[in-house]
Structure 1
């Protein structure tokens, strides 16, 4: 009781007019688990520096420039920031910094593990620039580096949430006392900005880190990277995007500020050496990828901190976003996206000169069912009575258009690269426009869901165990549906997620991530909303399942592949789960 009274007094004492209340928590009130996390953060940074200093390969070539001081500074910044916030009596923000930086540690470990497989394919000029193709062996420094990433990840895991703080203590009050929560407007605005920044950051991390005229230093994007590094970069991009969205959407100011800052610093640890190498190493040139990723996250970090400073919790009701307007905006964007998709399906995808025959754009045929699904779900969003019930399904099913656009762009890029006489036609451009509009519509619909949930008490929400079996089956089927080819034919190589990664693979990766996320969320969702989410996921997978039926003419002797059958099985499992969720008895009480 004394701790709570003291926290309340501190809030009122430190609160300025129109600003967020500030809680000052001394070292004595820092939970033991967070202290261990701070120690592990320092140990992790020390291991990273020690590994780099001792060398990652035996008798390896020299780095392209003297990068060790820069790499050391980047390694120690996250724990130093966390310690600085603790010293400033804001330990919750420091803990969130550790969490944000730890999100990227697994991906960075996979990227660095490529040194153990084949250092010549690592494309890390800040560490080494090969001059011959002689094999290189890993040195003990590599294991120190990987151990450092492990320590950073463990530090973030220990710092999550209340970090073991005893209920009633000032640190626990940071998460239990809702008087200092961010307003709905601040959360919503931050989340919209985060969705944009997350997309830019993910794309930037997946692009080539630089341009290279050196045959020994490959400027590889994620598509051309060796398998281990490829999965590491994919994990990096996904973790950066997820961390940005999670942090920005948090109701707790320390979590919002710290997680986004930690993610930004961790991304700087990846991109700054790439930028430095591109400017300091001969025959390397800067590329836009690292600049896009880092700039997007820096802008998001500044926005989140400024929003926290400017909002006034007492004016929360006056600043809440209107779900009706958000539904209307999402519906209009959905209609525009569906219209653009139909134009893409009926327009010329490729312009051919020189008397060559125009290739048939089989993949663009899928724009028609995708547009029909989006159109059917976008229209109800224009009407208040139907919008709330339809919105969850729309937010998921609208991803069908980017899924098709990725597949269609694959065919366009392949044709363009094969001949200079081929160029993109109006259908290809409308397909890209449809994808952008669809992503915007999904973001607005998701924001409407965030605003709606602000009025619902979800603290007592438990998992619906009756959904366990169909959701588990749907998750397994979804992995195979998007990961295995939907079409088999002699000599035909289908794009995939695990191998043969091509532009179409981005759509497959997006599809499986969205479906798995929906499955995880639906288990804890309110019955009507959970059922709608699962129905939207079923519509998304159904569009993917139609690929064989609509595009089988592209390969002679084509037969349905395992991806088609698993897609149909996934649709069935999702529909069963949707029916169970929609008919379950709601148990969520409205806030008073």
Structure 2
């Protein structure tokens, strides 16, 4: 018996398989090299300003923010210089341009310190303790000069950066074809701009106002609008530019959004009387989506690039999952409560991060991509359980509030979804012509057993106890049931696709599913203490059997390479 499956063509074009010729540092335009120096000087000034003091006799900051501010200031010039040294000066120039597009908004926002520091909600800089008037300090002028230098660096790097026609830099720009459209990037840019207009956090401190576009003073309104316009401009530039330029601008814009939102996120998570708000998370995730969409839709760096992007997104999703599993889910009157719903995030995050790391390296990326794609279902498996507990608790008692784990759950889910899309794009790029392959009937039995066991593993409870009503697929269908259903479907679809796939891809896919079911197995030791007198449920034994069946089937497939 034979099946028609896809295999890659015998030979791919060099343009698809490898990036274009590298341009050495000495071959980069002199104006671009000067732009790197100007950007570095701008970063130094952006660090020196807060150190000197943006306000005379300034109240203390809410947390030790200097390391974070230093990192955010130096990231754009460091990333750009590293790309230029690596032989990608056009992408590096785009990074400087993208960062510069966000800087006018930051400049206007910091200019508010000159008018009235009391209305500037910047806990990473200061937290006022009274209504006594404050005056701008010498550090403010240094910071504003730093912003102007960053803008100047972006202007110097724009267009051809002064490269004469006939030079390698100009020739590469001429050889690349402009992008016609990037609809996902445009949507991501608009969403990021919207997120920047929302309040940075929620505040219970009368001296720290949590205001968005509508409630802000007039200058801060212009600052928010300018920042949003910068993100949209970056998306428009990416939609109509050459691939190298689009990639660099999207990364620079994402770093610019990070510089705005990271202190807001940190304040919402760590500062007393402040809580996280969705605006910064929406803006940051959408800006990351802008960068990912433009990198995926351009082909200047070959087919392996989407796999690496999926690896980066998966690594971030895994880290966010680990954070969600180790932080507060709910609090009553500000006091954190012990919960079990998010504990599954710890093994899920570790699994996804562990499989994402090999995707960053070309030698292991293709082989482990199927396993990574299957394991991503562990994030919604844990995330839906966490959100189910939050929805239930907050609906019962108005004094119940949410903790940082909820935001990490949202971030992990969004990153995992993006990683899954990019991984599917990468998998589709690996397919090519159709050829005949025999169907191995020996595999039918273990695959069928694994599929049936998966349905029971996720459909039946892992923990049983008197009075405990866990979510299920057929009964007690709740928000957490969506995660169970997705995980079960992932295994069933993987089992069905195995006979149609190449042996090494199919084996990796089954082993990734074994890791997913293994996360379900760990639910019992991690959450059994939630109910007195708990005992293992049928779902635990079926999960163990399903894991074993998937491992056996995966090894059988790999042995037939």
TM-score of the superposed pair, with normalisation by structure 2: 0.50
Q: Across the two proteins, how many residue pairs are aligned to each other?
A: 292
2:224 matched to 1:226?
no
Counterparts of residues 279-358 of structure 1 (less than 5 Å): 279-309=269-299
Q: 1:15 to 1:134 in 2, by over 3 A?
A: farther
1:18 Cα offset (Å): 2.7
Q: 1:26 to 1:17 in 2, by over 3 A?
A: closer
Q: 1:52 to 1:15 in 2, by over 3 A?
A: farther
Counterparts of residues 372-521 of structure 1 (less than 5 Å): none
Q: 1:17 to 1:33 in 2, by over 3 A?
A: closer
2:51 matched to 1:90?
no
Aligned to 2:252: 262
Aligned to 1:202: 193
1:120 Cα offset (Å): 0.5
Distance, in Å, in 2 between the alignment partners of 1:192 and 1:163 is 28
User: Would the aligned equivalents of 1:56 and 1:138 in 2 still touch at CA under 8 Å?
Assistant: yes
User: Would the aligned equivalents of 1:20 and 1:308 in 2 still touch at CA under 8 Å?
Assistant: no
Aligned to 1:506: none
User: Would the aligned equivalents of 1:19 and 1:309 in 2 still touch at CA under 8 Å?
Assistant: no
Distance, in Å, in 2 between the alignment partners of 1:107 and 1:300 is 19
Aligned to 1:36: 34
1:249 Cα offset (Å): 3.0
- Which 4+ stretches in 1 moved above 3 angstroms? 14-17, 309-313
Q: 1:18 to 1:53 in 2, by over 3 A?
A: same
1:308 Cα offset (Å): 2.4
1:306 Cα offset (Å): 2.3
1:294 Cα offset (Å): 0.6
Aligned to 2:153: 155
Q: 1:156 to 1:224 in 2, by over 3 A?
A: same
Aligned to 1:121: 119
2:200 matched to 1:212?
no
Describe the superposition over 1:123-171 as per-residue Cα deviations: whole angstroms up to 9, x where unpaired: 1111011110101111100000000000000000000011111110000
User: Would the aligned equivalents of 1:93 and 1:258 in 2 still touch at CA under 8 Å?
Assistant: yes
> Which among 177, 181, 194 is matched to residue 181 of structure 1?
177
Q: Which has the higher contact order (CA 8 A, sep 6+)?
A: 2
Distance, in Å, in 1 between the alignment partners of 2:169 and 2:258 is 29
1:47 Cα offset (Å): 0.3
User: Would the aligned equivalents of 2:185 and 2:291 in 1 still touch at CA under 8 Å?
Assistant: no
User: Would the aligned equivalents of 2:102 and 2:230 in 1 still touch at CA under 8 Å?
Assistant: yes
Describe the superposition over 1:300-322 as per-residue Cα deviations: whole angstroms up to 9, x where unpaired: 21222223248989xxxxxxxxx
Aligned to 2:498: none
Unaligned runs of 5+ in 1: 1-13, 314-592
Distance, in Å, in 2 between the alignment partners of 1:113 and 1:311 is 40
Aligned to 1:319: none
| RMSD, aligned CA | 1.9
Q: 1:311 to 1:47 in 2, by over 3 A?
A: closer
TM-score of the superposed pair, with normalisation by structure 1: 0.48
2:73 matched to 1:75?
yes
Aligned to 1:60: 58
User: Would the aligned equivalents of 1:62 and 1:129 in 2 still touch at CA under 8 Å?
Assistant: yes
Aligned to 1:584: none
Q: The residue matched to 1:103 in structure 2 has which SS?
A: helix
